[in-house]
Amino acid sequence: MVIADEGQLVQRSQKGDLGAFNALVEAYQRQVYNLCLRMLGSAAAEDAAQEAFITAYRRLDSFRGGSFRAWLLRIAANNCCDELRRQRSRPAASLEAALEAGSPADISSHSAGPEEEALRRELGRHLQQGLAVLPTEQRLAIILRDIHGLSYEELTEALGCSLGTVKSRIARARSRMREYLMARRELLPSQFRLKE
């Protein structure tokens, strides 16, 4: 989702209009949180998302145009990568333990019945576990493309790399996800099982 008056809100925010920045936060808070959730798991996602908005507000003067969403998601992604590095240097709890604690909240559907909701949660848990084993760069690329729907142009901006690198990361991530799910297809709900 890109908001129609994004450019005006950014300009007003750069001039110190807190209301305009709050409108940007409201427009993108779910996307930023979901990115952090998929990169870090539920334990650290809220803090990382909040930190991303604080950083964005402090660095508004460095935004030089282009896609604000891509710029903001890049800040969130950098925060997530920093947190993953911190976790590796001082492992306190595993990402898998955080994944076991709860499934991603954004996968649920209010119109689904209890059985369908349980199947969705199970599938969401398996997808999240598959994402967790991907290398950070591939995980970030596939989340931004396949979950957040960024265009390839926005991806090159958000990831700070060439179009070829972006496409390569996405292809490798999709291939690894497919391998991961194929190896566990008997654990998936029947309608989501991949055929060989």
Tell me: the pLDDT tens digits for 23-61?
A: 999 999 999 999 999 888 877 889 999 999 999 999 999
Above 60 in pLDDT, residue 111? no
Q: Give the mean model confidence (pLDDT) for residues 151-163.
A: 90
Mean pLDDT of the chain: 82
- CA–CA distance, 102 with 99 (Å, rounded to integer): 6
| CA distances, 65 to each of 11, 20, 60 (Å) | 10, 16, 11
Q: Give the mean model confidence (pLDDT) for residues 154-175.
A: 92
Above 70 in pLDDT, residue 99? no
- CA–CA distance, 39 with 176 (Å, rounded to integer): 16
Above 90 in pLDDT, residue 92? no
pTM metric for this prediction: 0.67
- CA–CA distance, 120 with 12 (Å, rounded to integer): 41
pLDDT for position 84: 84
- CA–CA distance, 38 with 103 (Å, rounded to integer): 10
> 6-192 adopts what CATH topology?
Rna Polymerase Sigma Factor; Chain: A (1.10.1740)
